Amino acid sequence: MALTLRAVGGLNTAEIARAYLVPEATMSQRIRRAKQRIEAAGARFALPSAADRDERLRAVLHVLYLIFNEGYAASSGGELHRAELTGEAIRLARELHRLLPDDGEVVGLLALMLLTDAHRAARTGPAGELVPLAEQDRTRWDRSEIEQGVALVTEALTWSPPGPYQVQAAIAAVHAEAPSAAETDWPQIVALYRVLARIAPNPMVTLNQAAAVAMVDGPRAGLALLAPLDADDRTAGHHRLAAVRAHLLELAGDRDEAREAYLAAARATTSLPEQRYLEVRAARLAAD
């Protein structure tokens, strides 16, 4: 899978490792072992069995998901977006949907990409600075992509058992249809995250769930959800964990702790736009 991710997306080993929440050395070993297995097996191409096809399709969807995410929020460098990655991921997802229109997760992934990409123009300010979702000018959102994404996921959920991509697309649709951040249906989002955490548990789901729970039950409830992630090797020391904790601490009124968490997140990220945003948040708390 890592080989496919690099070949299709043009990502380097460090970027692939960050996508999989593993050290770069670990990912290098995985890629090396995969190459060795391919060389030992020889280049044989044949139609897979039904069971193998489903497994391979899920791997392809996951790779496209990771490529899109790296393009939408680049994990390193001076740019927040890598449009060549998001554009290619959406193109390939559309092609998969054309070939497999009756696969609910293919539909869900395409819907998720469109609903997420719809925010792209509003995610940066005049100087390229990161603009968080709650502060975005929603008139700059791409309504065409939103309409396509909402239609796709709404229709798919009528005939397909909900899978992880469909549930994520449903969450994105709730955000997209809210007239403003204040009018977002947070209870519905929390309910959808509970479904997602049940069918596809992982630490990044927990991070997003904690932020949503904080909007319904208060920041302390969100912080309680984050606590177990400190012991998870995939997220301990990860800048996104520190950034979400900083945001919730700020909401809770713990300004000094929030400032330290923002600075910790800024030190941990390799994305310059994210780093600048986190440092600005910390500076504002210090000034206040």
5-63 pLDDT per residue, tens: 554 555 666 656 554 555 666 656 665 665 566 566 565 666 677 777 888 899 999 99
Q: What is the pLDDT of residue 35?
A: 58
- Cα separations (Å) of 23 from 17, 102, 234, 237? 6, 37, 9, 12
Q: How many helices (H) and strands (E) does the chain have?
A: 14, 2
Reading the block at residue 40, the tokens are: 């030992």
> Under DSSP, is residue 76 helix (H, G, I), strand (E, B) or coil?
strand
d(CA 149, CA 119): 12
d(CA 223, CA 242): 11
Q: What is the pLDDT of residue 147?
A: 98
Residue 5's nearest CA partner among 71, 51, 55, 52 is: 71
Give every residue of the chain whose pLDDT is below 70, as ranges.
Answer: 1-47
Q: What is the pLDDT of residue 2?
A: 47
Q: What is the pLDDT of residues 108-124, one digit of tens each?
A: 999 999 999 999 999 99
